[in-house]
Chains A and B, each alone.
Chain A
């Protein structure tokens, strides 16, 4: 049993408190308002976007699994690079590409390229 357990239990707890209220504990999002993480094509195909989405938030239209969303995600404050790595490793292993891994160093590196202002994909999604 132990080997089957979720290896990112800390990431799971952080996910639940920082993201779960909107994207839901099971990652399914909310109807046409909040996109899902579970099964999202975007988190698999554009993994480097995720730290920027967390740090700067997101707005404008976007497509996830062919469905359009157009709400606002405020920046998520109060989590550091280690915590962000934990959250994202949890998300990828649970719902995305379990082969992807974020180290805190890589997170730092990506964060320095995000620029300012929310991520806005302008009506595109996974490419």
Chain B
């Protein structure tokens, strides 16, 4: 009985707290293995990269200066999880349509087929603006390698449908190139939580 009462009190307490926007933000941790060197703690950072987007423009770290961004990996002919992940990316895109400090970055992992013109047609199908959502291609090795920095898997695997193995994660990167949050891009509820994290990170800056 007593526990019920305190539980109820707790719930009421929570619902009062949660009326405050944006719902109890905690500082998002920097993810990844820390490296402690003497007095300094080094956090893993996203390395330099250069890719090309659907408008044949170069996209590199500078493109995201002063912004936070969300990353995923996909390929156009993907018969498995990609369309679901894209649908969730589109949700994120639409939810933050009025927020120029957030940009989306999707990497194809099928660089042979997903040429710039095909990425362009795909972007048109999604109905997206290039400066808000870059669909990029580049050197295959560069893309597979940087996937690891984004806590994602991307590689060729003839044994899986479509011929590529990859995780359907969405990853959130801050202005200092640190990974701050990720979620399962096939699961709408996981993405709900992720979008709260995005809002919290925006409010941090």
Binding site for B on A (CB under 8 A): 21-22, 24, 30-34, 69-72, 74
Binding site for A on B (CB under 8 A): 76-77, 79-84, 86-87, 90, 121-122, 124-127
Report yes or no: A24 in contact with B83, Cβ–Cβ below 8 A: yes
Which residue from chain A places its CB closest to the CB of B76 in the assembled complex? A71
User: In the complex, which of the residues A21, A34, A71 contacts B81, with contact meaning CB atoms closer than 8 Å?
Assistant: A21
Chain A proximity of B13: nearest CB distance (Å): 36
Interface centre among B76, B82, B84, B90 (most CB of A within 10 A): B84
A34 partner residues in chain B, CB cutoff 8 A:
83
Report the separation of the CA atoms of residues A111 and B71 in the bound assembly, to the nearest whole angstrom. 42
Report yes or no: A30 in contact with B124, Cβ–Cβ below 8 A: no
A33 partner residues in chain B, CB cutoff 8 A:
83, 86, 122, 125-126
Which residue from chain A places its CB closest to the CB of B121 in the assembled complex? A70
Given contacts A21-B84, A24-B84, A24-B87, contact A71 B125 (CB under 8 A): yes
Report yes or no: B77 in contact with A32, Cβ–Cβ below 8 A: no
Which secondary structure dominates where chain B touches chain A? helix
A71 partner residues in chain B, CB cutoff 8 A:
76, 125
- 10 additional A-B residue pairs with CB within 8 Å, beyond A22-B79, A22-B83, A69-B125: A21-B83, A24-B83, A30-B125, A31-B87, A31-B125, A31-B127, A32-B126, A33-B83, A71-B125, A74-B79
Please, could you name 15 A-B residue pairs with CB atoms under 8 Å apart, sorted by A?
A: A22-B79, A24-B83, A30-B86, A30-B126, A31-B87, A31-B125, A31-B126, A32-B124, A32-B125, A32-B126, A32-B127, A33-B122, A33-B125, A72-B77, A74-B77
Which residue from chain A places its CB closest to the CB of B87 in the assembled complex? A30
Interface centre among A22, A31, A34, A72 (most CB of B within 10 A): A31
A72 partner residues in chain B, CB cutoff 8 A:
77
Report the separation of the CA atoms of residues A34 and B79 in the bound assembly, to the nearest whole angstrom. 12
Which residue from chain A places its CB closest to the CB of B188 in the assembled complex? A25
Report the separation of the CA atoms of residues A47 and B90 in the bound assembly, to the nearest whole angstrom. 30
A-B interface, 8 closest residue pairs, ranked by CB to CB distance from nearest: A33-B125, A32-B125, A22-B83, A30-B83, A31-B126, A30-B87, A21-B80, A31-B127
